[in-house]
């Protein structure tokens, strides 16, 4: 099996049952992540001898057709446990959340007025609503690989379409770009050649973070590759915050104090969360490391 370009694997057991597991180890504060998680698709392969081909081989000559085995999916006869569990969770949600808060959900059916736009990684281990406790109607959430925000000049994409809607129509008051530890997208960015031409969707997407990679290579050149990746995970968040300011409607609302830009970093190995706010300085940004300033930094542990 080819290695995933994202290069990440789970280090904790997911809530849904799985048919295989990967292992990882923690040495001090350094995490060694295995190459790839080999998941299965809900069926088992079994091999059986193909008798007609064997007979054909005997009749046409030794070595012409070797013994051939065909693999046939052996479907599980009992109901899919994954969706049975999902069904139970949905019905539990309906009984204990939806029906007990029916008026709230009726109001949400009419309109939404979230205070937050959250831009998070698509990684299955870092669901922002689960981690930060957002309830329905509180946050408009966009998820993509490595929680990148492309600059305005890159042109239209799903992420900036969501930016336009949430800022101009929903008028959110806060944008939170939240990254995480062991990010496969950042690892892919740090591993690739900057001049590489590729048809890979992933490689072409993570190029959005090239500025963060360049800063990391300059500042953290003496660190190990894993340490550089962790540095870039945080640096790319700030790079995305600066990219947000390239959107005219975002810069306008930030300059008027109607919108605040925040960064967050979730370390799911240690279960800690860092939060900070971009200190906006119109046309003369205060120069700190990387050309930006931050304020209101907090560390939750």
pTM over 0.85: no
Q: How far apart are CA 23 and CA 65, in angstroms?
A: 41
3-state secondary structure of 224: coil
- Consult the annotation and say whether 169 binds a ligand: no
Using a 10 angstrom Cβ sphere, with 0-12 exposed, 13-18 middle and 19 or more buried, the burial of residue 61 is exposed
Class (C level, CATH) for 112-300 = alpha beta
- Domain residue ranges of the chain, discontinuous segments joined by +: 52-111, 112-300
- Consult the annotation and say whether 121 binds a ligand: yes
Q: At what angle do helices 225-244 and 210-219 cross, to 10 degrees?
A: 130
Residues facing 175 on adjacent strands: 117, 261
User: Any alpha helices (H) in the chain, and if so which ranges?
Assistant: 51-60, 81-93, 102-110, 128-132, 158-164, 184-191, 201-206, 210-219, 225-244, 248-255
- Consult the annotation and say whether 123 binds a ligand: yes
- Consult the annotation and say whether 127 binds a ligand: no
- Cβ proximity of 171 and 267 under 8 Å: no
- 113-165 confidence digits (pLDDT tens): 999 999 999 999 999 999 999 999 999 999 999 999 999 988 889 999 999 99
Least confident window among 5-19, 116-130, 223-237: 5-19
């Amino acid at each position: 099996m080819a290695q995933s370009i994202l290069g990440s694997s789970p280090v904790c057991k997911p809530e849904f049952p799985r048919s295989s597991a990967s292992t990882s180890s923690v040495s001090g504060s350094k995490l060694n992540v295995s190459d790839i998680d080999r998941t299965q698709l809900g069926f088992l392969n079994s091999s059986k001898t193909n008798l007609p081909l064997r007979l054909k081989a005997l009749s046409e000559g030794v070595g012409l057709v070797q013994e051939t085995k065909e693999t046939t999916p052996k479907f599980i006869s009992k109901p899919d446990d994954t969706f049975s569990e999902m069904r139970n969770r949905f019905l539990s949600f309906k009984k204990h959340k939806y029906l007990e808060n029916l008026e709230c959900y009726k109001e949400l059916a009419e309109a939404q007025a979230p205070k937050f736009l959250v831009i998070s990684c698509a990684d299955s281990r870092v669901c922002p609503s689960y981690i930060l406790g957002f309830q329905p109607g509180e946050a408009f959430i966009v998820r993509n690989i490595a929680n990148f925000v492309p600059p305005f000049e890159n042109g239209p994409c799903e992420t900036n379409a969501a930016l336009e809607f949430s800022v101009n129509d929903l008028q959110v008051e806060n944008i939170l770009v939240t990254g995480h530890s062991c990010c496969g997208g950042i690892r892919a960015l740090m591993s690739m050649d900057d001049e590489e031409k590729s048809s890979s969707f992933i490689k072409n997407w993570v190029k959005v973070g090239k500025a963060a990679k360049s800063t990391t290579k300059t500042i953290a050149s003496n660190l190990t590759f894993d340490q550089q990746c962790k540095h870039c995970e945080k640096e790319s968040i700030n790079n995305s915050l600066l990219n947000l300011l390239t959107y005219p409607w975002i810069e306008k609302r930030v300059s008027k104090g109607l919108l605040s830009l925040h960064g967050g970093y979730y370390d799911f190995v240690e279960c800690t969360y860092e939060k900070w706010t971009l200190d906006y300085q119109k046309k003369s940004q205060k120069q700190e490391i990387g050309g930006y300033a931050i304020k209101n930094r907090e560390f939750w542990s």
